[in-house]
């Protein structure tokens, strides 16, 4: 039987090798991978049937994983995000050149969240960078809350499934624009 630490280590290795990962977040299981690998970004966009200009959310375990992804912004804009982090709010910032196509959203932006879920934090800290985080559901369907259903749906495409507890939230993350604090979701 794998320990939680061993399972997370194996998940991190799968991500480093270009594999996709299903993992628990604050509210739902996420489908993720290494945003720095173009093949991974393309595979997730294809599986989710998303256009490459819609963008993907990145989750992080430490603020140092986020700062290289965003263009410098006013202190007030960053302070708004920091007031909700770590936590369950995703913020949209101007994207730095480090953010690849497919991850960038409309208007050259990037959606980032500093997670408080211990599994997400551990994965990102071991990777030493952010992780793609999109819901682990097929387009137009709700996200299953049991790992067995996720394995049935995604086994051909996902390298590793982390069967660990979800966080306490019952809703997907709120999404806000840092510039004007507008709520998008």
DSSP letter string over 30-88?
A: EEE--TT-HHHHHHHHHHHT--TTS--EEEESSHHHHGGGB----HHHHHHHHHH-SSS
Within a domain: residue 184?
no
Asked whether the beta carbons of 21 and 81 are under 8 A apart, the reply is no
How much is the pLDDT for 5? 87
Name residues of the chain where pLDDT drops below 50: none
Tell me the two tokens of residue 55.
Answer: 């963008």
Rg (CA), the chain: 15
Q: What is the CATH number of the domain that holds 168?
A: 3.90.870.10
Q: Tell me if 125 is assigned to some domain.
A: yes
Q: Extract the tokens encoding 64.
A: 């140092």
Q: Is residue 160 part of a domain?
A: yes
CB 159, CB 14: distance < 8 Å: yes
List the beta bridge partners of residue 93.
110
Domain containing 46 equals: 4-177
Q: How far apart are CA 157 and CA 172, in angstroms?
A: 23
Domain contains 32: yes
Task: Tell me if the bond preceding 39 is cis, omega within 30° of 0.
Answer: no
Question: What is the count of structural domains for the chain?
Answer: 1
Q: Is 131 helix (H, G, I), strand (E, B) or coil?
A: strand
Q: Tell me the pLDDT tens digit for each residue of 60-75.
A: 999 999 999 999 887 7
In a domain, 75, yes or no: yes
pTM over the 0.85 mark: yes
Contacts of 105 (CB under 8 A, 6+ apart): 53, 54, 55, 92, 95, 111
The Cα angle at residue 145 between residues 25 and 133, in degrees rounded to 5: 35
């Amino acid at each position: 039987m794998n320990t939680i630490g061993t399972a997370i280590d194996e998940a991190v290795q799968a991500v480093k090798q270009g594999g996709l990962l299903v993992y628990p977040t604050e509210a739902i299981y996420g489908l993720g991978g290494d945003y720095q690998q173009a093949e991974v970004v393309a595979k997730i966009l294809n599986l989710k049937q998303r256009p490459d200009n819609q963008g993907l959310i990145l989750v992080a375990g430490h603020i140092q994983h986020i700062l290289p992804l965003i263009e410098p912004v006013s202190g007030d804009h960053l302070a708004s995000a920091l007031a909700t982090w770590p936590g369950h709010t995703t913020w949209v910032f101007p994207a730095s050149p480090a953010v690849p196509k497919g991850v960038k959203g409309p208007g050259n932006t990037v959606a980032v969240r500093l997670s408080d879920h211990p599994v997400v934090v551990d994965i990102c800290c071991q990777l030493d960078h952010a992780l793609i985080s999109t819901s682990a559901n097929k387009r137009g369907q709700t996200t299953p809350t049991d790992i067995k259903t996720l394995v049935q749906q995604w086994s051909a495409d996902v390298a590793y499934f982390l069967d660990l507890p979800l966080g306490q939230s019952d809703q997907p993350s709120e999404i806000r624009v840092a510039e004007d604090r507008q709520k998008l979701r």
